[in-house]
Structure 1
Amino acid sequence: MNTPSPAQCPFRAGGQPPAPVRHPVGAWPPGPPSGLTGWSLLARMARDLPAALARWRQDYGDLVHLRMWPEHQLVVADPQLVRELLVTHHEALIRWERGIGIFSYLQGNSVLIAEAPQWAAKRHALQPAFAPKAVKAFVPTIAAAAGKAMEAWQAAAAVPIESHLTALTMDVIMRMMFSSEIGDEARSMEAAVHAALVEGNAEMFWPASWPDWMPWKRRKRKVRAQLTGLVERQVQSRLALPLDAWPADLLSRLLELHRADGQAWPLDAVRDECMTAFLAGHETTAASLTWWAWCMASNPAAQEEARQEVASVLQGRTPGDEDLPALGYLAQTLDETMRLYPAAPVLMSRRSTREITLGGWTVPTGTMFMIPVFLMHQDPRWFPEPQAFRPGRFAADAPAIPRGAFMPFGTGPRVCLGQHLALMEMTVVAAMLLQRFVLSVPAGQAAPQPVLNISMRPGTPLCLALASSAA
């Protein structure tokens, strides 16, 4: 029995949403025909996951059942149900084992990978370094990296802005983690990370992977060697220093955990956290800044309003942490960019470890859940004319956005650990870029097409016209 899930707004003005209809045990929400195995649905997702999910939501509602033998999966695209799943039922969920296995190839058993007590202990140990007050100390580091990078940028009719911003965010995370700079390794590391994301995304749609020693996996092995070599060189260099010469950065904090409890924090655990911090700490920020640059270039009025605000607040000086709250409109442009182009448009799938009730449906143990953030971000019920770039949606006096409808960093206990750092970094970099340059779309250039390879980037490297803001 399949009963259509409601598509009407659950956030009614002036009251609580109606209680969900209780469905019989054993019933599933509606979904596309699966055929004998449902593997055709998997093939469709592999070809274009965002398009497939958007079509199924249009056809079947906010809760879509996919039967892909041997799995039952629910696609949850209702903000209220997503919060119910990730907050209320958090303890009844684990992340999808196949996805975690793919990520662990590079990231070991870091806080991104670990589950249950191990995850809680790691999160508790790392949380203080990423708290809002703590990350403010990194503003000068971010500004120094941005200033140095932008000094080398040349105004031109077609500048590889995506590559520039990726190198910059890599340099920022290297300075914060290792008190070092990315230097000449930026291009090779950019290529390595991109290859890792493409390879990992492709493997997500296969039930198992060929062993990594197979001849055609030479590139994958090379990428892993490049990235692990970067981390290992930094760890060994730090260990060679006397303790009183260790700088106050994230690596030193991790090594202090190792020195305090080598059993809980062996050196391998330190390396795993460094790898996760490097990958997650630059990739989503670089992707978001890339899309922001496009939004500014293609919306010159919004760009000019943000530039005028930056000029008024900063008066030509480098931004400090005390300036950031005053850059309200700039923050709105970043939020609107992340709404249109969330760097992680689909959260890591979850699996239920016990029977739960979600939106009136009794869901058995072992059910998979997929959360397409991009569908909620582009839902006209929450964001009228969702394809339009309108930073005013996030103004203080704008109509309230339903809780859960905007979640670029996820939600619940496993919300992105680095969200405050990422927002601060994007604001500093964006402000400094607007101080120096005017962004515009090169003549004849079409809008970039988003492509999902775990994170979402333009299908071809983004180039924009760059002119001096003083011209």
Structure 2
Amino acid sequence: MDATPAAAQPTPPRVATGPRGLLLLGVALDIRKDILGWLLRTTEHGPLACYRYGPLLSYQVNHPDGLKHLLQDHVKNYTKDHFGYDMIRRIVGNGIFTSEGETWLKQRRLAQPAFHRARISAMAGQMVQATAELSEQWTASQRSGEPRSVVRDMMALTLRVVGEALLGTNVREETQAIAEAFTVISEQTTERFRSFRLLPPVLPTAYDRAFRQANQTLRDVVARIITKRRERPEDHGDLLSMFMLAKDEETGEQMDDEHLRDEVLTMLLAGHETTANTLSWVWGLLHQNPDAERKLHAELDAVLGGRPPTAEDVPKLVYTRRVMDEALRLYPPVYSLSRKVVKDDVICGYEVRGGSSLYMSPYVTHRLPEFWPDPERFEPDRFTPEQVAARPRYAYFPFLGGPRQCIGNNFAWMEGTLIIATLAQHHRPRMVEGYTLTPEPLLTLKPAGELPVRITAR
């Protein structure tokens, strides 16, 4: 008589391997030396790599299946209670990007109406007008032959758009101060993370004083914005109005100035820095890829015929959107993100221990050859509907995904498309001789050396 077969036992999770580091520092020196190269090397260990960053047990999740698990299916097990976000909170406080739980959900609900497609479409005119004024400056530089910094131009432009469209405020006079302050903060935050310098900047050293002064500059700018708007508390139809007029459903209380400051700082910095870097990459990549540039120009001529773009044109500018998609694939501004693992879990068949740190990198996942053949090549037609449908959802995640997907993604898509369409109809920025387009991984991923160009005509 045959024996009854035993019930199939579940396969135990595997133990992930990863880069080996030093006894006390782990892989901290490797990350400090070349973070992008190090991130790419983690793929040699499979869909999930395990290593020590300083004394902390850490994991790097690169495969789309693992990203779906942590960003969508089991999102509550992976929180922002992580020292990386503690550093960001020093800059933007506890705004919608850094908050958790009920606080985040409440903030998200308050902000969501400001990013409704109809409201964003109504902002298109402001975006195009601001870009048209930069186009006039580019025309003047075209005549004089004077070089320009694409990075600085895109930063100033997107800062103006965020100020006017989302905050109902003209910040052009503060542009230089904001840019200088953010540069200090970005460089220091990056250095502090990579050197595992976790203490807050409270020491009486020149280094810590520079951080505090830069942080105070940003807070002073935001305080002036809030004070000015308090004088006109009516609804202006923008995000700041929504935050200022919102009341707690239970207590009837409104946001205090500290809470408002955190939200405004988040929108001001996150809303302009990321889009500006993406647009900067677009101009450099178009210079390097003349076939893609010709396709872009052909679409702009066919759809717009020389007139300024409108919100209604955006869905028709299919290739323009693909150009931005491909720039975001190659050089996602937010190139690495962190989470804290709450409880033991299994990702892609590998054990992940509660209390550990977990990282994900769009820069890495966007280069996995199994989803992106010849991954270093700039090819906007990777984003045809057919190719998008053939890839896993999280093979491409420049704006994350799941419930914590970036609330401003549609705003950024419209803004980027309109800016590219407005400028590329008339101008062809050419990188100056001797400049090499390479990434500089600070708080966000920007072109090194601010991308100097000479403006030429179409």
What amino acid does structure 2 have at the position aligned with 1:202?
E
In structure 2, relative to structure 1, the CA distance for the partners of 1:211 and 1:403 (3 Å cut) is closer
Check whether the contact 1:297–1:464 (CA below 8 A) recurs between aligned residues.
no
Check whether the contact 1:177–1:274 (CA below 8 A) recurs between aligned residues.
no
- Residue 213 of structure 1 and its aligned partner are, at CA, apart by 4.5
Give matches, 1:442-453, under 5 Å.
442-446=432-436, 448-453=437-442
Among 312, 317, 323, the residue aligned to 1:327? 317
The residue aligned with 1:405 is: 395
The residue aligned with 1:257 is: 246
Among 314, 330, 336, the residue aligned to 2:304? 314
- Residue 207 of structure 1 and its aligned partner are, at CA, apart by 4.9
- Residue 34 of structure 1 and its aligned partner are, at CA, apart by 4.0
Q: Does 1:52 align with 2:38?
A: yes
Among 335, 341, 358, the residue aligned to 1:345? 335
The residue aligned with 2:445 is: 456
Check whether the contact 1:89–1:356 (CA below 8 A) recurs between aligned residues.
no
The residue aligned with 1:30 is: 17
What amino acid does structure 2 have at the position aligned with 1:341?
Y
The residue aligned with 1:104 is: 89
Name the TM-score, length of structure 2 as normaliser. 0.91
Structure-1 separation of matches of 2:200 and 2:91:
16
State how many pairs are aligned.
441
Query: Please, what is the CA RMSD of the aligned residues?
Result: 2.0
- Residue 398 of structure 1 and its aligned partner are, at CA, apart by 3.8
Check whether the contact 2:26–2:54 (CA below 8 A) recurs between aligned residues.
no
Structure-2 separation of matches of 1:42 and 1:439:
38
- Residue 439 of structure 1 and its aligned partner are, at CA, apart by 2.5
Q: Does 1:279 align with 2:235?
A: no
The residue aligned with 1:73 is: 58
Q: Does 1:430 align with 2:420?
A: yes
In structure 2, relative to structure 1, the CA distance for the partners of 1:35 and 1:48 (3 Å cut) is closer
Structure-2 separation of matches of 1:179 and 1:122:
19
- Residue 90 of structure 1 and its aligned partner are, at CA, apart by 0.3
Structure-1 separation of matches of 2:282 and 2:292:
11
> Which consecutive residues of structure 2, in runs of 5 or more, have no partner in the other structure?
1-9
- Residue 258 of structure 1 and its aligned partner are, at CA, apart by 5.3
- Residue 314 of structure 1 and its aligned partner are, at CA, apart by 1.5
Check whether the contact 2:201–2:209 (CA below 8 A) recurs between aligned residues.
no
Structure-2 separation of matches of 1:95 and 1:162:
30
> Could you report, residue by residue, the CA deviation over 1:121-140 in whole angstroms, capped at 9, with x for unpaired residues?
11121112113333112111
Structure-2 separation of matches of 1:97 and 1:302:
41
Name the TM-score, length of structure 1 as normaliser. 0.89
> Could you report, residue by residue, the CA deviation over 1:30-64 in whole angstroms, capped at 9, with x for unpaired residues?
11234533x14112112221111212322x22211
Structure-2 separation of matches of 1:74 and 1:97:
13
The residue aligned with 1:61 is: 46
Among 211, 214, 227, the residue aligned to 1:220? 211
Q: Does 1:82 align with 2:73?
A: no
> Could you report, residue by residue, the CA deviation over 1:5-47 in whole angstroms, capped at 9, with x for unpaired residues?
xxxxxxxxxxxxxxxx9335xx52011234533x141121122
Check whether the contact 2:81–2:340 (CA below 8 A) recurs between aligned residues.
yes
Check whether the contact 1:451–1:457 (CA below 8 A) recurs between aligned residues.
yes
What amino acid does structure 1 have at the position aligned with 2:347?
L
The residue aligned with 2:7 is: none
The residue aligned with 2:78 is: 93
What amino acid does structure 1 have at the position aligned with 2:329?
R
In structure 2, relative to structure 1, the CA distance for the partners of 1:33 and 1:444 (3 Å cut) is closer
Check whether the contact 2:58–2:359 (CA below 8 A) recurs between aligned residues.
yes
Check whether the contact 2:426–2:457 (CA below 8 A) recurs between aligned residues.
yes
In structure 2, relative to structure 1, the CA distance for the partners of 1:23 and 1:465 (3 Å cut) is farther
The residue aligned with 1:236 is: 227
DSSP-derived class of the 2:300 partner: helix
What amino acid does structure 1 have at the position aligned with 2:214?
V
Check whether the contact 2:16–2:48 (CA below 8 A) recurs between aligned residues.
yes
What amino acid does structure 2 have at the position aligned with 1:307?
H
> Which consecutive residues of structure 1, in runs of 5 or more, have no partner in the other structure?
1-20
- Residue 180 of structure 1 and its aligned partner are, at CA, apart by 2.7
Structure-1 separation of matches of 2:55 and 2:428:
53
Among 318, 336, 356, the residue aligned to 2:326? 336
DSSP-derived class of the 1:413 partner: helix
Structure-2 separation of matches of 1:302 and 1:214:
52
Percent identity of paired positions between Structure 1 and Structure 2: 27
The residue aligned with 2:5 is: none
- Residue 355 of structure 1 and its aligned partner are, at CA, apart by 2.0
The residue aligned with 1:43 is: 29
Q: Does 1:140 align with 2:129?
A: no
Structure-2 separation of matches of 1:114 and 1:99:
13
